[in-house]
């Protein structure tokens, strides 16, 4: 009987722990996938594998440890101490995982020459943030912002831009070059965006493309496309309307 009582107590405690873990995991997943990494940015950035591993370990291992440690014969203070250690270890792992995901979250989407480039918080040259326009001097915590870039102002700045680009620091990573999204940039985008028919001819049987076109709410002859890239992934395409607004995303290589 004492043994059965212990098992019932441990199962009840572990079940409650599991329920709380599932709620916390759901809240974290909502923050990541709806706020920091809305579609398709979690696939573009490719930085969530560690987070999934930590969540899985937290959800499973915490209740398992509780199942082992929970014993009604322990003094209340001892039981609370044991379970507190389990929770603290879980929280430490979860905070580490969230921090890892947060520092590489996408913060801006920038039109550069012939593509849209997604820049992560880690890539931004933070020392230049004070030189950014008002409204862009802090990095977004509510998903990536679409912004514009200003041209180099003189020969010296063009030379600096070239030198930094050779080091892997593109203009899109430099807040001193950022501008709010504007009509001048939209004009440049219109000059580069390609008619959707060209993409359809390249991928006539791609199901993802067909779904994205249907979901855009526009006929094919009013849609355009450009490559959508990040440091991790060059194989995505953004669909645009005549006003250069995003109307869909497809996991296809648009460089052809």
Does 147 have pLDDT greater than 60?
yes
Q: Which helix (H) or strand (E) holds 246?
A: strand 246-250
Q: How many helices (H) and strands (E) does the chain have?
A: 8, 8
**Which residue's structure tokens are 């001892």?**
78
pLDDT at 252 over 90: yes
Q: How confident is the model at residue 161 (pLDDT cuts 50, 70, 90)?
A: confident
Helices (H), 31-107: 41-45, 49-69, 76-103
Q: Identify whether the C-beta of residue 45 lies closer than 8 Å to the C-beta of residue 120.
A: yes
Average pLDDT in the 35-51 region? 84
Domain segments of the chain as ranges: 2-103, 106-189, 193-256
**Residue length of the chain:** 256
The answer to whether the beta carbons of residues 170 and 112 sit under 8 Å apart is yes
Closest alpha carbon to 229 in 256, 246, 252: 252
Token output for 199: 């993409």
| pLDDT tens per residue, range 85-125 | 988 988 888 888 889 899 999 999 999 989 999 999 999 99
For residues 117 and 47, which has the higher predicted lDDT (pLDDT)?
117
pLDDT at 75: 87
Could you tell me the pLDDT band of residue 39, with boundaries at 50, 70 and 90?
Answer: very high
């Amino acid at each position: 009987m004492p043994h059965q009582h212990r098992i019932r107590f441990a199962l009840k405690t572990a079940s409650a722990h599991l329920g709380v873990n599932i709620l916390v995991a759901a809240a974290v997943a909502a923050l990541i996938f709806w706020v920091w990494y809305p579609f398709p940015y979690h696939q573009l950035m490719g930085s969530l594998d560690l987070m999934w591993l930590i969540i899985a370990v937290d959800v499973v291992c915490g209740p398992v440890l509780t199942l082992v440690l929970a014993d009604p014969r322990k003094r209340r203070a001892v039981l609370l101490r044991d379970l507190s250690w389990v929770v603290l270890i879980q929280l430490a792992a979860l905070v580490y995982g969230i921090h890892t995901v947060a520092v590489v979250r996408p913060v801006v989407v920038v039109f550069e020459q012939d593509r849209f480039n997604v820049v992560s918080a880690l890539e931004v040259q933070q020392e230049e943030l004070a030189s950014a326009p008002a409204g862009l001097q802090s990095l977004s915590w509510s998903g990536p912002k679409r912004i514009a870039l200003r041209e180099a102002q003189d020969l010296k700045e063009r030379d600096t831009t070239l030198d930094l680009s050779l080091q892997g620091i593109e203009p899109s990573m430099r807040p001193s070059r950022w501008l709010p999204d504007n009509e001048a940039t939209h004009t440049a985008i219109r000059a580069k965006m390609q008619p959707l028919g060209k993409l359809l001819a390249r991928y006539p049987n791609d199901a993802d493309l067909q779904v994205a076109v249907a979901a855009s709410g526009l006929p094919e002859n009013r849609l355009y496309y450009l490559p959508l890239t990040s440091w991790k992934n060059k194989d995505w395409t953004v669909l645009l309307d005549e006003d250069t607004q995003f109307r869909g995303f497809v996991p296809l290589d648009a460089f052809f």
